Amino acid sequence: MNNIWLEPFKAVTQTPIETAIILGSGLAIDDATFDETVDFSFDRFEGLPQPTVPGHSATFTLGFKNEKPVLIQKGRVHFYEGYSMHEVVQNIELFHALGVQTLIITNACGGMNPHLNPGDFVVLNDFINFMPSNPLVGHLSDPTFPDMTEPFDLKLRNTMRHIFNAHDIPYKEGTYVSFMGPYYETKAEIRMLSTFADVVGMSTVPETIKARSVGINVLGLSLVTNMATGIQKRDHDHAHVLNVASQKVPVFQSLMSAFLDAIYSE
């Protein structure tokens, strides 16, 4: 990570940025969620990988809620875009340097569990790395072999469950399996993957591995935007994914606002 990347944030606040949110495809958090916001284009951070996929802008928004800063990453890069695993998680190195302790990683995903439907939220309780590598390869951290007993923090999951229940919003819990992409999985691949996971996507796992390796607690939240190949009757297309996600943005914003209020009141 380039230490110069810290300067734009330090020019705005000297308070450690303890919470960050990575937004998945089509998801958004309106500036009105915060008392004040400051935007930073990825262009300000020389060498930071740039998203190339529709639905992923290239902006950090630093929002202040009750005078406490929250960093929102609008747009992520993926392994399938041709970046190395190390490049994919350079944002996590930035978060760690800024003092982030809690990271909410969100994504749009495909549902494999027959009890799921497009529009369902899934609180992630585990993951399976089905990508050909991970971000710690060749970049060993301390500890070299981070524990993954609970990659998604149990306390954060309990808080998120309470938020869903308090707002009477239905949700499921499940395991996320990462698929390299950039194509939608075949029917045979989904039959295999669905035997041990509930949802499938092309992100989240590299960031979670890196975050846990540097001691950042992670909450994983998926939005099912389509059912996986062989389950849904329509062909896949990214525009449909973005459309389903956009319909759930108001609910997602309410959930994130309530979650931030909850963890900041502790």
Q: Which of 1, 2, 57, 80 is catalytic?
A: 80
Q: Which of 28, 58, 108, 227 is catalytic?
A: 108
Tell me whether residue 236 is one of the annotated catalytic residues: yes
**Count of structural domains within the chain:** 1
Write down the pLDDT at residue 143. Answer: 65
Q: What is the rounded CA–CA span in Å between residue 136 and residue 139?
A: 5
Task: Compute the C-alpha angle 245/253/261, nearest 5°.
Answer: 150
Write the burial class of residue 177 (CB in 10 Å: 0-12 exposed, 13-18 middle, 19+ buried). Answer: buried
Q: Which of 107, 113, 134, 203 is catalytic?
A: 203
Q: What is the rounded CA–CA span in Å between residue 180 and residue 201?
A: 8
Q: What is the rounded CA–CA span in Å between residue 227 and residue 109?
A: 8
Tell me whether residue 81 is one of the annotated catalytic residues: yes
Q: What is the rounded CA–CA span in Å between residue 213 and residue 209?
A: 6
- List, for residues 31-61, the tens digit of each pLDDT value: 998 999 999 999 999 999 998 876 668 999 9
Q: Per residue in 31-65, is it b (16+ CB within 10 Å) or e — as a string?
A: eebbeebbebebeebeebbebebebbebbbbbbbb
74 lies in which domain range? Answer: 3-264
- List, for residues 150-163, the tens digit of each pLDDT value: 999 999 999 999 99
User: Nearest 5°: phi and psi at 241?
Assistant: -60, -50
Tell me whether residue 83 is one of the annotated catalytic residues: no
Tell me whether residue 108 is one of the annotated catalytic residues: yes
Average per-residue pLDDT for the chain: 93
Q: Which of 226, 228, 245, 256 is catalytic?
A: 226
Q: Which of 20, 28, 58, 81 is catalytic?
A: 81
Write down the pLDDT at residue 56. Answer: 66
CATH number at residue 9: 3.40.50.1580
pLDDT band at 266 (very low <50, low <70, confident <90, very high): low
Q: Which of 224, 243, 232 is nearest to 190 (CA)?
A: 232
Q: Which of 58, 160, 202, 245 is catalytic?
A: 202
Tell me whether residue 167 is one of the annotated catalytic residues: no
**For residue 239, what is the enclosing H or E element?**
helix 238-247
Average pLDDT of the segment spanning 196-211: 97
Tell me whether residue 226 is one of the annotated catalytic residues: yes
